[in-house]
Amino acid sequence: MTSDSEKTSRGPARVLGADPAALAEAARVILAGGLVAVPTETVYGLAADATNGAAIASIYTAKGRPSFNPLICHVADLAMAESLAHFSPLARRLGERFWPGPLTLVLPRAPGCPVHDLATAGLPSIGLRAPQHIATLEIIRRVGRPLAAPSANPSEQLSPTTAAHVAAGLGSRIDLIIDGGRCSAGLESTIIAPGEDGAVMLRAGALPRSDIELLTGPLRSPDHAADIVAPGMLRRHYAPRARLRLGATAPESGEAFLAFGPPPRGVSPSLNLSIRGDLAEAASNLFSMLRALDESHDAIAVAPIPESGLGEALNDRLRRGAAHSRENEL
C-alpha cells in the first residue's frame, strides 16, 4: 500500500459504489494496510484493519487526530465482538438487542485481543459496534477482522453523511471511498459503558437514551474523576466554520436561519431541519444542512430543539459546534 506522503501527492481517492466487486476491492485495500471510507447508518467511517498498527497510524495522520483519542472497532456481529472484549450479562443483552445498530459499547479488552494498542490509545478498554449497513458488514466479513473506523472527517470538523462530504474533507489522503448513499440516521452512535452498578452514557447519539434505559435502568453521566470517559468528547468538536447561535427564534442581520418545525410568522428560514418537527428527520439533516449554510454564511442562527429523544444528541452536537466558534474568537 502507499505511504502517507504518496497518498497526499496522488490526487483524489477512487470512489466506487457498493456492488460486490467494489466491496471485494475495499476488503483487499484494507488487508493491504490501506484506508477506505465506508458507509454506516450513522456517519461515514474511515476504516482500516484494527490489528495493523501502521494502518491505524495512518488514520490518525489523515484525520489530524490526536493519538490519545481511541477509535471505535467495527465488528460483523456479537460473536466477533466477544472475541475482542469481556461481555458482562448486561453488555451481552445490549449487543443482542441493538446490534447491528447505532450503539457503541465500551468494554474491558479480552486477554489476547488482537486489536492494536494504537487503536485503543493504550486503554484497557475497547469501543465496539456492529454497524447497520449491509455494504460495511460485508466488508468486515470479507476482511475477517475488526475495522477501526472513526468518522471520516478531518478532526474537529463536521461528520460526513454522504460520500461527497468524505471526498471534500479527506479525498486526497485516503485510498478508496465506498459510496453507500446518504447515512440514514445522520448522527454518530450512542456510546455506553455498562458497569457493575448500571451503565454510563459517554456520548449521546443516534440511539435515544430511553431505548437503552429499558435494559440498563437510568444511565449515569460520566464521572470525570473516575477513569471511564470518552477521550474524544472534547468540547471542540463537530464544528462548522461559521459562528453558531442556538435557541434563536429569528435570524439577525447577516445570519442564516436553520429552522426546526413550522417557522415563526414572517420568518423565512434558509433551511429547515424538519418542517414537521420530527427529530429523526432533523438528525439525518443536521450535518449536511450545517455544511450547506457554512458555505454561504459566516453566522448561523439555529431554532430551539427539544431535549427529548434524539434531541439530546442533536443539542449536544450543536452546543459543541457553538462552543468551538466562541473559542475561535478568543
* Binding site residues, ligand TXA, CB under 6 A: 40, 42-43, 45, 69-72, 104, 106, 120, 123, 125-127, 131, 149-151, 188-189, 191, 202-203, 230-233
Residue 25 C-beta: closest distance to ligand TXA, Å? 20
Residue 238 C-beta: closest distance to Mg ion, Å? 8
Query: Which listed option, Mg ion, ligand TXA, none, makes contact with residue 233 (CB within 5 to 8 Å by class)?
Result: ligand TXA
Give the largest Cα separation in the chain, rounded. Answer: 63
Query: Which listed option, ligand TXA, Mg ion, none, makes contact with residue 22 (CB within 5 to 8 Å by class)?
Result: none
Decide whether 232 or 269 has the Cβ nearer to ligand TXA: 232
Residue 171 C-beta: closest distance to ligand TXA, Å? 17
- The arrangement of strands across the sheet holding 125-129 comes to 14-16, 176-178, 36-38, 45-49, 147-148, 72-74, 125-129, 103-108, 190-195, 198-203
Query: Which listed option, Mg ion, ligand TXA, none, makes contact with residue 43 (CB within 5 to 8 Å by class)?
Result: ligand TXA
Residue 151 C-beta: closest distance to ligand TXA, Å? 4
Residue whose Cβ sits closest to ligand TXA:
232
Query: Which listed option, Mg ion, ligand TXA, none, makes contact with residue 272 (CB within 5 to 8 Å by class)?
Result: none
Decide whether 208 or 251 has the Cβ nearer to ligand TXA: 208
- Count of positions (residues) in the chain: 330
Among positions 143-172, residues that touch Mg ion (CB under 5 A) are 151
Decide whether 147 or 301 has the Cβ nearer to ligand TXA: 147
Decide whether 70 or 240 has the Cβ nearer to ligand TXA: 70
Residue 150 C-beta: closest distance to ligand TXA, Å? 3
Residue 151 C-beta: closest distance to Mg ion, Å? 3
Decide whether 238 or 257 has the Cβ nearer to ligand TXA: 238
Decide whether 90 or 256 has the Cβ nearer to ligand TXA: 90
Q: What are phi and psi of 203, to 5 degrees?
A: -150, 130
Is residue 315 at the binding interface for Mg ion, with CB under 5 A as the rule? no
Decide whether 130 or 259 has the Cβ nearer to ligand TXA: 130
Query: Which listed option, ligand TXA, Mg ion, none, makes contact with residue 69 (CB within 5 to 8 Å by class)?
Result: ligand TXA
Among positions 118-137, residues that touch Mg ion (CB under 5 A) are none
Decide whether 100 or 251 has the Cβ nearer to ligand TXA: 100
115 in Cβ contact with 50 (< 8 Å): yes
The residues of the shown chain that bind Mg ion, judged by CB under 5 A, are: 151
